[in-house]
Structure 1
């Protein structure tokens, strides 16, 4: 089937033309071309034959159902441009998005914004017919994007827990479960004083991780502390120094992204500490950075590329008005490497 089909009059073939030729409803065409249950095999074959005769493809179903050609997906990220280039998570996430958009002959409209400008950016995109839908990331607690964008009918998928998503469909990772696994692992190694360097406290996933970290540490009888940073190397280094200068220095630190964990290796060296003999470090996301350091970094691993692809496939379902529900992606799993070990027998704070 070709990507551009036309009737004898020169106009583009629509899903209604296929339905008319096959003697079925447009919804039956959608069911058949996407191989969903609901029509008989005989009817399905008749529909597919009609589509072949008219030179019509499933991508054109999206155009007919939405009332506008499916051409662009929007993604606004509230991060500085220089920092985004160093952030492994978003590079992998965007790659996953693009892997799906390429199959649909769609483009990504990416904008780096200040948080307070993001609602207006999405509104302008949608009302100006520049996008068919958007991916919403870095959801905050009581995020103002949710009521503002749902009120204008923007098709969107939230990357975050359903508790943050309001009426939007969401795809998320189980951050709480991953935090529990990380802390239990460090406790099993013998660590009793642990810390965490988090992303911005107002982010929804930061709040979920902080609550889980505090709760599991209390359950296991551990001393635990969270220091807030912004995912950058500079802030990660500063947070790590703060922890290592404390009166009761932790013997293990969990970081909310890879970049901050990598910089912590240098900070540990400044303090004359050996990783992992004196200090254990545990990263998040497990990009290639974790395997290029010496020692290699233990990490909570999840497939960010596949996560981006999953989010984008879900957005296409939303834009095409298919029935769907929010769902969790793969839970991050622990990958022990060279940066974690039992704590030293005696620890002497600086």
Structure 2
């Protein structure tokens, strides 16, 4: 490129210091409004910086102020399934909306296991990559609570306050939601109901399990719970296991996600089982996927985007030095569509 076409060189702190006749440290103090220079010297330096159109790099400016304006989120999920999990896509959308209002960004990372996830938090803290993190997929006695507290990394939890170790928390009342699903099916005459759940180690799965079992017992409904991983293969296998049980045939299945519910519908149809005439299905978390099946799937649902926005608000409050209380973002309610019917129709 000819010299005449070259972009003008940006002014540096050294350039300002040379022109002002002061040290680079003095320039840094003045630009960052820190003590160490007199008021007249500060005004002199700022005037020269303005004349030279000085604009510090955003990253350097934020680091000098002890912040990055970035929030981290690590998802311990199989990438093959993540794109089809409406919950996380909508949660991230809500986070982006809320963080954008605070002029903050989101740093997203996938981890293969818990150890890799915890290593990522240590790396982020050591490298000053993020100001805070959002923790999801809580387990009972979750080791991440002690980790973020030990390294001084601010964190907001997505999960029931009883299981998040005192962290600032956004949560949904899953126990009430699963009870509503059981009562709805009981009202339709179902007396044997299966639950195809996520991983048993996850706190929200445990909460749903306990509420499901308790409500079934209270209503005199026979029940069984099969744990998977929110993936297609185990959802198909567990659906077949339920439908193969001739000794106590279930007339309804409640799934822990929309994707697994769609898998259950497909599996039942492949076996010649009519939904909802022979089998009722309820999924969890609404999405386009659950509305375009034939029939569309009845789901327990709430506003996940608003959930993410609320979590972003808690992060902002935490970083502002406040201690916000736990925020109940919603209670899943039934959106009845075409996959639930009276058991007598069987």
Q: Considering the TM-score relative to the shorter chain, is it more than 0.5?
A: yes
Residue matched to 1:252: 252
Residue matched to 2:261: 261
Q: Higher Cα Rg: structure 1 or 2?
A: 2
Residue 127 of structure 1 and its aligned partner are, at CA, apart by 2.5
Residue matched to 1:211: 210
Residue matched to 1:281: 281
Residue matched to 1:89: 87
* TM-score for both structures, normalised by structure 2: 0.80
Residue 164 of structure 1 and its aligned partner are, at CA, apart by 1.5
Alpha-carbon distance in structure 1 between the residues aligned to 2:168 and 2:82: 26
Q: What number of residue pairs does the alignment pair up?
A: 291
1:174–1:328 Cα contact (<8 Å) kept: yes
1:312 aligns with 2:332: no
Bigger mean CA deviation after superposition, 159-168 or 212-221: 159-168
Alpha-carbon distance in structure 2 between the residues aligned to 1:327 and 1:104: 19
Residue matched to 2:21: none
Residue 12 of structure 1 and its aligned partner are, at CA, apart by 4.4
Residue 153 of structure 1 and its aligned partner are, at CA, apart by 1.6
Residue matched to 1:339: 339
Give per-residue Cα distances to partners, 1:82-137, cap 9 Å, x unaligned: 21112111111111111122222322111111222211211211222100000000
Partner SS state of residue 190, structure 1: coil
Alpha-carbon distance in structure 2 between the residues aligned to 1:243 and 1:13: 68
Alpha-carbon distance in structure 2 between the residues aligned to 1:83 and 1:120: 23
Residue 228 of structure 1 and its aligned partner are, at CA, apart by 0.6
Alpha-carbon distance in structure 2 between the residues aligned to 1:109 and 1:191: 45
Residues 336, 11 of structure 1: CA spacing in aligned structure 2 closer, same or farther, 3 A cutoff? same
Give per-residue Cα distances to partners, 1:261-296, cap 9 Å, x unaligned: 001111111221111000000010111211111101
Residue matched to 1:136: 135
Alpha-carbon distance in structure 2 between the residues aligned to 1:84 and 1:257: 12
Residue matched to 2:6: none
Backbone CA RMSD of aligned residues? 2.0
Q: How does 1:144-293 map to 2 (within 5 A)?
A: 144-247=143-246, 248-293=248-293
Bigger mean CA deviation after superposition, 300-309 or 323-332: 323-332
Bigger mean CA deviation after superposition, 293-302 or 94-103: 94-103
Alpha-carbon distance in structure 2 between the residues aligned to 1:157 and 1:294: 39
Residue 343 of structure 1 and its aligned partner are, at CA, apart by 1.0
Residue 249 of structure 1 and its aligned partner are, at CA, apart by 1.9
Alpha-carbon distance in structure 2 between the residues aligned to 1:13 and 1:232: 53
Residue 208 of structure 1 and its aligned partner are, at CA, apart by 0.4
2:198–2:227 Cα contact (<8 Å) kept: yes
Question: Which residues of structure 2 form unaligned runs of 5+?
Answer: 1-26, 36-61
Question: Which residues of structure 1 form unaligned runs of 5+?
Answer: 1-6, 17-62
Alpha-carbon distance in structure 2 between the residues aligned to 1:161 and 1:13: 42
Alpha-carbon distance in structure 2 between the residues aligned to 1:323 and 1:202: 29
* TM-score for both structures, normalised by structure 1: 0.79
